[in-house]
Structure 1
Amino acid sequence: MINVVDFFCGCGGTSAGLRNVGMNIVAGIDIDTDAGKTYAANFPDATFVQRDIRGFEPSELEKMLDGMQGKFLFAACAPCQPFTKQVTQKKDGDIRRELLDHFHKFVEQLHPDYVLLENVPGLQKIAQTEGPLGRFLDLLRTHGYSFDVKVVSSLDYGVPQVRRRLVLIASRLGPISVPAATHGVISERPHATVWDWIGDLPSIRAGEEDYAVPNHRAAKLSELNQTRIRNTPVNGGRRDWPSDLNLRCHEGHSGHTDVYGRMSKDRPAAALSTRCISLSNGRYGHPTQDRAISVREAARLQTFPDSFQFSGSMNSMAKQIGNAVPVKLAEAMGTAVFAHLSQMTTDRSNG
């Protein structure tokens, strides 16, 4: 048995993936109220701790884990916005930049058998030796962990989305590696497409909801934006519009070509953001219907099953989904951890 504590758990993408491979989800820790409601509803056997990690102590967690048998995995996906390339102005006073440092005390004092870290690639580039990641790697070395850290594409692990992430996997039991890709050119399985994951969902219009599928609800569109999406071909965008539909802010501006764009059926989606159900915030237009993707379609593109239901307003649900670790990516990491534990157990038995 591997018991999981999911720090900065959000709605539970990491927990869902690790549960899928047979791990025991013990607790999720996050400060967000709506994400907590979603997490608690989908992991009824786990404890959701709504706390700011800066005021949550290892001794409190130790009491929760007291008496549990098996190995322990601590997962952490600290808020990534301060390190993403979409944030053009990095604020030195942003407390989110230091949240990974507050995870240190749990590793240092409780010594989990495994650690799984996921974040944006930018975490690796910001002050590599003295920044948050460099400090965390020093901690792992000091406490005898073997680890591997790589920037991977979620697409290579079955996620229908071009989403590059930094993944760190660490173990106190012996050398460990980030698993090889399961999809793509080096695998027998092709990359997944948008239509592979959302093509069977019922058709709805902007502002409508189909109650037969949980959270299959699309945002409303103004009359002007309905005209814009009708004038947007598959995989097209604002450059395909008649001139009278253009926005003033885009005049003479060659960037931001994905905004108001449609997805392509036979390609993966672009990386989903916290505004992934908004037509004006990225290539989030449905491939064939004149609307932005629904909450459920966004969730599917993050590889959440339909049984996983979200709480809160539409904007809150989009934020939870956009912030989540793709379920299939977490599942691949969990599979690698189980394989590692099995190998270590075999090696020790033979030794």
Structure 2
Amino acid sequence: MSRNVFSKNVSFIRNVGTSVKANKTWLFFESLVLEAANLKPGDRIEMTVVMDKRALVFKKSDIGDHVVSRRKRAGQTKERPLMDRCNEQISVVIRQRKRIDILVADGILIVREEQSFDFCVFDRPALQGSDLKKFRLMSLPSGAGLATKALESTGFFEPVFGGDILSEAVETYKFNFPDGASYWGDLRKLHPDYLEPVDAVWLSPSCTKYSLLVGQGSAGGFLEGMGPFYANLVLASQAKIVLIEEIIPYFGSRSYEHLKMLLQHSFPYITQMNLNAFDFGSPAGRNRGYVVMSQSPLENFKWPEPKIPDHRRPTIEQTIGKDWENRAPFRETRGTVMEGLLNKSGNNNFKADKNYTLVKPNDTRMAALVASYSKIQVTSSYLLHPDHPNLWRPFTSWEASRILDIPDDFGFPESISETKRMYMIGNGVDCRVAKAIGIEAAYHLMMSRLGANSNRPAPVQTESWMKVDPNGQFSFVLGA
């Protein structure tokens, strides 16, 4: 096998398990994997077995003996590729019910079992985006990439790597950041050798319902165990600064303590702050904890603390636009789930009159958008028609994007449903806050770089008839 198989950069890594079909190893390649390789329905594929490396190479070829099939789901206009392979040759190389890594480049898929990561057998591939010049950013778990887009919008950061276990999140991330690489799978399976050096890491640890479970039988993160995995990936990335965001109770968990203590040796400078998006001008409250960890002193980093006067706060209509009335259909209150929510009673906080369940366009405050927004609930906000008090509707994903100030150049692939879009937005961050923190982080990185450069001896300027050797010794150049 040629050692320059990775002459093209790897843009995607899929970690998945093999299946069994007719007592043979069955490989199934999802649409997202094939699209990452720029393979289309009808393309012919040639499979090569590399026995000494125990790897399979699938490559687009006119002489290929397999054709990429097509899939079209109801409600979608675009056909998407699918491919599966199952034969004796595959079974000899890849065992049944084993996890594999699929490395994806343009027109190439390389499959091997997860157990080995010796990239030198293929000439270790440079990940796509490795030649970018701005501050290099890795996001884990990346989700759909809301925080990544916020940091990119500052002009200081280039996203080079993101990873998540949710297929729709990875597909949306790749859709918005095609110049970087991405990983689809369990982050516990992401080997550090896959990571190129970066300058900054945005870390949004899985919260596992800390807000409900900490101190109530959840073991406070003792049973989660993700902290060491996140720390291992951060250390492997060679980042200079780590930005961590999560719901506030997470930072009191044992999982966070693991993460913090494992990183503290390499990132001894730490600062923490709770910030609410409402203070940054968002109509939706979103109180989150943020931590910044750095290899260099954080004397140049300052937490943003904006306070917007009530008379200058934007209304919901100013945030989502004046055409809200015709953007989506309204529903009647009578006979729907909303009628039950408005009539809830009891001595608890789960009543409509204690929440912003129904809000009008001229209101300036609403409840936070959450991942479970599509499940109509009293603690979420829905738009009430100001002229027809019996009519209401959920906010659309486009409106939710405006509420969270997601940059206009962020989009969703056509294949992502409205429910999934709202789920990923609800799982994301308010971009006002992320952007403000990103600007401070970039300033800190720039000042740190200038400080490091200032300790270096200035280059000696000499005339053309003089030269300086590595020891600083001057000499004349004869004949100059």
Give the shorter-chain TM-score range: 0.7 to 0.9
Q: Does structure 1 retain, via aligned residues, the 8 Å contact 2:273–2:303?
A: no
Checking the alignment, whether the CA contact within 8 Å between 2:337 and 2:376 is kept in structure 1 is no
Matched, 1:315 2:419: yes
Identity %: 21
Aligned-residue Cα RMSD (Å) equals: 3.2
How far the C-alpha of 1:298 sits from its partner, in A, is 1.7
Secondary structure, in 3 states, of the residue corresponding to 1:155? helix
Task: Give the letter aligned to residue 255 of structure 1.
Answer: N
Distance 1:108 1:84, change over 3 A: same
In structure 2, the residue matched to 1:50 is 184
- Residue deviations 1:243-298, cap 9 Å, x none? xxx4xxx3545431247821253323211111224443533211436212122112
**Does the 8 A contact of 2:200 with 2:241 survive in 1?**
yes
Question: Aligned pair in 2 of structure 1 residues 193, 139: CA closer, same or farther (>3 Å)?
Answer: farther
Partner of 1:211: none
For residues 313 and 222 of structure 1, what CA distance do their matches in structure 2 show? 25
Instruction: Return 5+ residue gaps in structure 2 as ranges.
Output: 1-133, 386-390, 456-480
SS at match of 1:175: coil
Name the TM-score, length of structure 2 as normaliser: 0.58
Question: Which residue in the other structure is 1:333 paired with?
Answer: 437
Aligned to 2:59: none
Determine the structure 2 residue equivalent to 1:225: 336
- Asked if structure 1 preserves the Cα contact closer than 8 Å seen for 2:138 and 2:161, the reply is yes
CA distance in 1, matches of 2:220, 2:272: 27
Work out the CA distance in 2 between the residues paired with 1:24 and 1:14.
12
1:280 aligns with 2:382: no
CA distance 1:52–1:155, shift in 2 (3 Å): same
What CA distance in whole angstroms lies between the structure 2 residues aligned with 1:183 and 1:145? 30
Matched with 1:267 is: 364
* 1:38 equivalent in structure 2: 172
Q: Between Structure 1 and Structure 2, whose CA radius of gyration is higher?
A: 2
Task: Tell me, yes or no, if structure 1 residue 172 matches structure 2 residue 292.
Answer: no
- Per-residue displacement from partner, 1:145-165 (whole Å, max 9, x unpaired)? 312111111223343321110
What is the TM-score with the length of structure 1 in the denominator?
0.77
Distance 1:108 1:307 in 2: 31
Offset at residue 347 of structure 1 (A): 3.6
- Larger RCO, structure (CA 8 Å, separation 6 or more): 1
2:400 paired residue number: 298
CA distance in 1, matches of 2:332, 2:141: 33
Residue 303 of structure 1 aligns with an amino acid whose one-letter code is D
Contact 2:406 2:431 survives alignment (8 Å): yes
Which residue does the alignment assign to 1:197? 319
1:156-213: CA deviation from partner (whole Å, max 9, x where unpaired): 334332111010112213225452223436xx9955443331133442376x4xxxxx
Structure 2 residue 195 is matched with structure 1 residue 61 = yes
CA deviation digits over 1:297-334, x for unaligned, max 9? 12221212344223522322221010012222211111
Letter matched to residue 435 of structure 2: E
Question: Partners of 1:252 and 1:175 in 2: how far apart?
Answer: 48
Q: Structure 1 residues 322-331 or 276-285, which shifts more?
A: 276-285
Contact 1:278–1:284 (CA under 8 A) maintained in structure 2: no
Q: CA contact under 8 A between 1:295 and 1:318: conserved in structure 2?
A: yes
Q: Distance in 2 between matches of 1:94 and 1:314?
A: 32
2:230 matches 1:97: no
Size of the alignment, in residue pairs? 310
Alignment partners' CA distance in 2, 1:150 and 1:308? 27
1:17 paired residue number = 150
1:133 and 1:41 mapped to 2: Cα distance? 31
Cα gap change, 1:39 to 1:189, in 2 (>3 Å): farther
Higher mean C-alpha displacement, 23-32 vs 44-53? 44-53
State which of 240, 247, 255 in structure 1 corresponds to 2:349: 255
Once the two structures are TM-superposed, the CA of residue 92 in structure 1 deviates from its matched residue by 4.5
Change (3 A) 1:227 1:282: closer
Partner Cα distance (2:227, 2:266) in 1 = 17
The 5 A counterparts of 1:151-190 are: 151-175=274-298, 177=301, 179-184=303-308, 190=312
Report the Cα offset of residue 20 of structure 1. 0.3
Does 328-337 or 262-271 show the bigger shift? Answer: 262-271
Structure 1 unaligned blocks of 5 or more: 66-70, 209-217, 230-236, 239-245
Aligned to 2:448: 344
